A = this chain, B = another copy of it.
Amino acid sequence: MARKQGSHSDITGPRVQDTALRLIARHGYAAVSMRQIAAEVGVQAGALYNYTPDKQTLLFDLMRAHMQEVLDALAAADLRGDPPARLDGFTRFHIRFHLPRPDQVFVSYMELRNLAPENFAILESMRRDYETALEDILRDGVAAGVFAVPDTRIATMAIIAMLTGLSHWYREGGRLGMDAIEEIYCNLVQKSVRR
């Protein structure tokens, strides 16, 4: 076996994405070379350009795909109930979606500054949509008199920072499983905004 040449677009395409994501998450976009990605995929550097016009687009496609998945999954979650129930739902959704995807979270958070301006604007807009989903819950809760937050925008940013931070230190197989983590964060988040 072990062909040295031939067509493998079905296998190579996803492998390029997966490898790039993992390497960029570990070392950073600027520190990872196309040669390094190619070597881990098992092709020569030139072959990568069958799958992306350039390195910048490769990064952007990774980040946009992740944010699109987040937004689609959130829409599919279809949170219902009173504001506290929806807040619990959002918290659990965030944790369940993001904890199994630490590399995507890391890249989407750390590499924003390496995006070309037009690409940055697109990602920022998608990120803002996600934040708005949480802020809507908080605002409804305040209107209903069940939440007491001095400023819904700041509470939104604070809660998302708390949740995103979790992805930066949580490692599978640690002291606590995902279910236990979920309970603890629901408790912290819920209390921080309740009357």
Contact = CB atoms under 8 A, between A and B. Distances in A.
A113 B24 CA distance: 11
Contact of A188 (B110, B114, B158): B158
Contacts of A77: none
B176 A151 contact: yes
A28 interface: yes
A27 interface: yes
For this complex, into which size category does the number of interface residues on chain A fall? Answer: 35 or more
Interface string A172-190: 0000100001011101110
Give chain A's interface secondary structure class: helix
A184 B110 contact: no
A117 interface: no
A165 B166 contact: no
Interface in A25-68: 26-31
A155 interface: yes
Contact of A184 (B31, B154, B165, B188): B154
B164 A158 contact: no
Contacts of A189: 192
A173 B96 CA distance: 36
Interface string A112-130: 0110000000000000000
